[in-house]
């Protein structure tokens, strides 16, 4: 179903009801289990389904700041200064574009923790009642010490407001007034992660747009490979990944939908552009992501809108779910969605290229298996069977187009010891094990099935999957200014790990 372009003013006029849940074919209104009714430990894996969401969404509580008259008092927040949409509008638009879960992630400034606690949180609670089809987490985009930004997803508990207030008040680098350089060090971020890891219900932290400040391909800016390794070491169940596909993907579009030739997807610019809409840390085969996985790290990728203002209103964003989706294999509960993100039961897609991706790695006797984010143990020298199932929806996406999957790549690497040089951003053992095209798969309607056997596995190994609608690109190429984001679509699935005994 194509979604007509519509302005925030039209939304404010009430043209969208809270019950709107128009989605890509195959998605409907979400019926939720109330918070606290189940826990991930008790979830039957067979009852988990792919739930689309977005963990990086801004509202009018991402403020601009008005200096005080005397220049000595803290500046006052200007509501709506940086992002124009209310939290209910974001949730309604997420529901309309097929999302089952979302995170409110406003970023800060001097004393923003109080603004977030006293104004944003009540609106989150209100929105949960108005838009019950969306699991709405309370979180924030942390102004990350010594880095750029990170999504913090707080578990849904009675303490969620106090938990987030404590994190922002204690560790957001822009929180103090006057500004304090001591808040902008990597040591403070490590302290923040250890604090979060010690909480009774730890949040999840995802590094946002990691290469946006990079100086070139294979070079880095405010976020470096060593820094992300340090975060993951400090709190491996909290700092679990990065945005594979950043938001702001409509940056190459003018409000009327025509091309903006100087606009790069993700607002990345030309020095280190995205590749097929994905950050270089994810998109480069044998690059940083593969180097992390090659150490055996559980390090996942996501995709978000980073929605501030829709491109039809002069912004550079799509609505939550309109273009980018992070799918989590989970029961429809807050606890299990967060568990799925934490433990990598995730695939991501652009432009609704796919709506389901399952990768199953099976032992020779078929009695053991592992799926996306999981691990399986086999005897040294065993063969393993890989079963891939995709859903390539028949309907139109929100640009009114019907993209087709034309190739699926199975990527493989053996796993070794942690790297000695923590600035490493390459894994020379990562390679495409097999490129599948339509002649290699079975198709029934929207469903694509692929079976493949890997022979004689003698070392610990990981397998990951990606796919595209681009028959002309064996590897994603650098995106150019004004590129049609809807014509260049990729999906990525998180890995499956194979242990050898």
pLDDT at res. 74? 87
Question: Is the per-residue pLDDT at 3 higher than 90?
Answer: no
Domain tally, the chain: 1
pLDDT at res. 71? 80
pLDDT at res. 40? 58
Residue 137: CA atoms inside 13 Å, Cβ hemisphere, count? 32
pLDDT digit string, tens, across residues 140-192 = 999 999 999 999 999 999 999 999 999 999 999 999 999 999 999 999 999 99
Domain-embedded: residue 3: no
- Structure tokens given for 479: 């995106």
- Structure tokens given for 265: 């997807």
Q: What is the dihedral of CA 274, 277, 279, 280, to 10 degrees?
A: -60
- Residues 123 and 224: their CA atoms lie apart, in Å, by 35
DSSP string, 41-87: GG--GGG-EEEEEEEEE--TTS-EEEPPTTSSSPPEEETTSS----H
Domain-embedded: residue 2: no
113 against 69, higher pLDDT: 113
Confidence label for 41 from pLDDT (cuts 50, 70 and 90): low
pTM of the model: 0.92
CA distances from 127 to 82, 107, 185, 193 (A): 21, 19, 36, 29
- Residues 152 and 146: their CA atoms lie apart, in Å, by 16
Question: Is the per-residue pLDDT at 17 higher than 80?
Answer: no
pLDDT at res. 29? 29
Compute the average pLDDT of residues 80-85.
91
CATH number of the domain residue 198 falls in? 3.20.20.140
Range of the structural domain that residue 466 is part of:
8-500
Question: Is the per-residue pLDDT at 1 higher than 80?
Answer: no
Compute the average pLDDT of residues 117-132.
98
pLDDT digit string, tens, across residues 187-246 = 999 999 999 999 999 999 999 999 999 999 999 999 999 999 999 999 999 999 999 999
pLDDT digit string, tens, across residues 432-469 = 999 999 999 999 999 999 999 999 999 999 999 999 99
pLDDT at res. 30? 30
Radius of gyration of the chain (CA): 22
Question: Is the per-residue pLDDT at 96 higher than 90?
Answer: yes
- Residues 204 and 329: their CA atoms lie apart, in Å, by 16
Domain-embedded: residue 338: yes
- Structure tokens given for 7: 């302005």
Contact 92, 98 (CB under 8 A): no
Confidence label for 42 from pLDDT (cuts 50, 70 and 90): confident
Contact 260, 311 (CB under 8 A): no
pLDDT digit string, tens, across residues 473-486 = 999 999 999 999 99
Contact 372, 357 (CB under 8 A): yes
pLDDT at res. 68? 86
- Residues 7 and 82: their CA atoms lie apart, in Å, by 17
Lowest mean pLDDT among 75-84, 85-94, 202-211, 421-430: 75-84
Contact 457, 383 (CB under 8 A): yes
pLDDT at res. 270? 87
Q: Is 306 exposed, middle or buried (0-12, 13-18, 19+ CB in 10 A)?
A: buried
pLDDT at res. 302? 99
Domain-embedded: residue 1: no
Domain-embedded: residue 104: yes
Contact 368, 348 (CB under 8 A): no
Q: Is 285 exposed, middle or buried (0-12, 13-18, 19+ CB in 10 A)?
A: middle
Helix (H, G, I), strand (E, B), or coil: what is residue 328? strand
Contact 250, 485 (CB under 8 A): yes
Domain-embedded: residue 277: yes
Q: Which helix (H) or strand (E) holds 342?
A: helix 334-342
CA distances from 97 to 4, 146, 309 (A): 11, 35, 16
């Amino acid at each position: 179903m194509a979604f007509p372009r519509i302005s925030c003013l039209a939304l404010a006029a009430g043209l969208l009801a809270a019950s709107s849940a128009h989605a890509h074919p195959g998605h409907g209104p979400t019926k939720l289990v109330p918070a606290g009714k189940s826990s991930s430990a008790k979830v039957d894996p067979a009852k988990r389904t792919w739930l689309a969401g977005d963990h990086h969404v801004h509202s009018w509580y991402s403020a601009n700041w008005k200096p005080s008259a005397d220049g000595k008092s803290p500046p006052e927040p200007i509501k709506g200064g940086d992002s124009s949409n209310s939290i209910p509008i974001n949730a309604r638009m997420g529901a309309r574009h097929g999302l089952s879960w979302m995170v409110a992630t406003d970023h800060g400034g001097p004393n923003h923790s109080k603004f977030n606690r006293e104004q944003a949180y009540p609106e989150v609670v209100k929105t949960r009642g108005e838009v019950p089809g969306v699991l709405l987490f309370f979180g924030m985009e942390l102004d990350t010490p010594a880095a750029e930004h990170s999504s913090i997803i707080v578990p849904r508990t009675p303490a969620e407001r106090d938990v987030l207030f404590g994190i922002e008040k204690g560790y957001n680098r822009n929180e103090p007034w006057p500004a304090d350089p001591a808040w902008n060090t990597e040591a403070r971020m490590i302290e923040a992660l250890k604090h979060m890891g010690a909480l009774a219900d730890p949040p999840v932290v995802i590094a946002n747009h990691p290469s946006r400040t990079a100086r070139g391909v294979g070079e880095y800016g405010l976020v470096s490979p060593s820094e992300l390794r340090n975060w993951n070491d400090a709190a491996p169940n909290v700092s679990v990944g990065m945005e594979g596909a950043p938001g702001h993907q409509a940056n190459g579009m003018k409000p009327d939908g025509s091309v903006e030739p100087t606009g790069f997807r993700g607002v990345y610019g030309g020095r280190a552009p995205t590749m097929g809409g994905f950050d270089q840390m994810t998109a480069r085969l044998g690059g940083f992501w593969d180097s992390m996985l090659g150490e055996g790290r559980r390090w996942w990728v996501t995709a978000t809108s980073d929605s501030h203002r829709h491109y039809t209103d002069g912004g550079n964003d799509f609505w939550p779910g309109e273009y980018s989706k992070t799918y989590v294999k989970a029961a429809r509960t807050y606890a299990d969605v967060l568990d799925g993100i934490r433990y990598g039961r995730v695939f991501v897609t652009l432009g609704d290229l796919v709506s389901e991706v399952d990768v199953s790695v099976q032992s020779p006797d078929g009695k053991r298996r592992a799926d996306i984010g999981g691990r399986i143990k086999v005897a040294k020298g065993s063969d393993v069977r890989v079963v891939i199932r995709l859903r390539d929806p028949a309907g139109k996406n929100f640009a009114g187009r019907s993209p087709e999957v034309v190739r699926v790549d199975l990527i493989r690497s053996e796993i070794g010891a942690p790297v000695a040089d923590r600035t490493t951003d390459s894994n020379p053992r990562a390679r495409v094990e097999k490129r599948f095209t339509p002649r290699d798969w079975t198709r029934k309607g929207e469903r694509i099935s692929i079976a493949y056997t890997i022979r004689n596995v003698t070392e610990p190994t990981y397998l990951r999957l990606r796919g595209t609608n681009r028959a002309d690109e064996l590897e994603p190429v650098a995106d150019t200014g004004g590129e049609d984001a809807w014509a260049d679509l990729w999906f990525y699935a998180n890995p499956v790990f194979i242990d050898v005994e």
